[in-house]
Amino acid sequence: MAAASEDQALLAQLRHVSELITVQQLAEAEAELERAQKTSPRDLRVLKLLALVRFKLGHLAEAREVYRQACEVAPEDPTVRLNLGLIALKLDSFREAAVELESAVRLQPDDRRAWSYLGYAYARSSSPTQAATAFRRAGQHELAAEMERTASPVAPADSAVVEGAGVGGAVVEGAVVERSASAQSERAPSAMPTPRPATSLEATPKPELAGDDDANVASSPSPMTTLASFTTARLLSLAVAPGPVESLGKGVLRFSAGAETHVRQSCLLAALGGQSLSLARRRERGHLSDETLSGERDCFFRVDGGGDLLLCSGDTARGLTALALDRDVLYFDEARVAAWGDEVVWESGTVPGGNKAMLQFRGSGRVVLLANADEIVSVRLGEGERMAVPTTRLLGWLGRIVVQGQVGSAAAGAAPGLHHVTCEGEGVLLLARHVEHP
């Protein structure tokens, strides 16, 4: 009974660590795991999570040491071997990477992701024949043929991620509970020439691609490239999703759709699985209206059927910023919202006294914004304070803030329209550093 109780306590501790990782509180997660390691020094779950956190902190050598401890505990665990190989790639230790990845493919011969990175390790170790063989086992026949023709090192088409560990079926950011090789192979797209090496750690080796950066292109004697190279360099890796939101690179987010998910049409690249999409309706005071939720040139879809959405910014000047709400209240400019989901409660409305459309989100869930991270400035508004803000600057607010629009008067010599807002209460204003000019 005592052992069972201790295991339950450890499991609760690891769930807490998972939550810390999800909200990027990595230093706190590392400290918690170090405490757990003192009481359970050979627990594989603790070691994998500690390695994950140290990798995300950029402490590659320390992460490698923890994975080596995990290898002593579970020498036949292919994910540990794979992660050791990927860290070695990140550190440019290509021969060491080849040794670890050889063990990974021996333990899990059907893992095309491991074969893909083994091919890269061989290529960088000046072993083109072995690299070609590994690439063929990975299903990357074009890369294999290129290795055979030119004997030059070619990297997999996209960056990879190192696999972490889930806790008790719960999702850790960038990590899922280990699955069998057969289950993973069933979920992997059969036509994907660049399988994803593993599911977790976002900051993974980014091998240089032939013709994939400005330096390589500039030094090339010909501006042409083969169709296979052109396609492979832009290929998105669609392995099993590690969490509810995942960056796939190339400006694309993978967003897991739940029971109540909405997405802006111009931000939807594709809905994996062909879910049912219907035009979303506005919700005011808790009730859906007959009016569609749309602007002058865009609209929102309601997603039914779950699955995953591929999101990209419809604005060439902005990217996507994903936020996790935890019993928060957020008001944001409707024109700058890309998607939302989970149990977050939402309503549409306008700034009182004006026509600036806003969306209100309450509760817990995910909201994706059309905004660059350095574009938004937060200004705290204290109780009893009052501020006037140009309407073009106002992106949103959180907390107990009352915003009132001040409409310009043509009689006073100003162009008609909403010129500025007054804000009072207590909370935080979200303002734009860059003003859009018509």
Q: What pLDDT shows up at residue 276?
A: 81
* Mean residue pLDDT across the chain: 76
CA atoms within 13 A on the CB side of 410: 2
Domain 246-432, CATH homologous superfamily name and number: Mitochondrial biogenesis AIM24 (3.60.160.10)
Identify the band that residue 274 occupies on the pLDDT scale cut at 50, 70 and 90. low
CA 407/CA 354 separation, integer angstroms: 6
Where is mean pLDDT largest: 165-169, 208-212, 309-313, 416-420?
A: 309-313
pLDDT digits (tens, 9 = 90+) for 234-249: 777 676 666 788 888 7
Tell whether the model's pLDDT for residue 165 goes beyond 50.
no
Q: Could you state, in order of their start, the residue ranges of all structural domains in the chain?
A: 246-432
Is the whole model's pTM more than 0.85, yes or no?
A: no
**Inter-residue contact 285 to 272 (CB < 8 Å):** no
**Which H, E and C letters describe the chain, residue by residue?**
CHHHHHHHHHHHHHHHHHHHHHCCCHHHHHHHHHHHHHHCCCCHHHHHHHHHHHHHCCCHHHHHHHHHHHHHHCCCCHHHHHHHHHHHHHCCCHHHHHHHHHHHHHHCCCCHHHHHHHHHHHHHCCCHHHHHHHHHHCCCHHHHHHHHHHCCCCCCCCCCCCCCCCECCECECCECCCCCHHHHHHHCCCCCCCCCCCCCCCCCCCCCCCCCCHHHHHHCCCCCCCHHHHHHHCCCCCCCCCCCEEEEECCEEEEECCCCEEEEHHHEEEEECCCEEEECEEEECCEEEEEECECCCCEEEEEECCCEEEEECCCCCCCEEEEEEEEEEEEEEHHHEEEEECCCEEEEEECCCCCCEEEEEEEEEEEEEECCHHHEEEEEEEEEEEEEEEHHHEEEEEEEEEEEEEEECHHHCCCCEEEEEEEEEEEEEEEECCCCCC
- The percent of residues in the chain predicted with pLDDT above 90, rounded, is 23
Neighbours of 252 (CB within 10 A): 17
pLDDT digits (tens, 9 = 90+) for 368-394: 999 887 889 999 999 889 999 998 899
pLDDT digits (tens, 9 = 90+) for 86-138: 898 888 888 899 999 999 999 888 888 888 889 888 888 888 888 888 888 88
Backbone phi, psi, residue 236, to 5°: -85, 135
CA 79/CA 107 separation, integer angstroms: 9
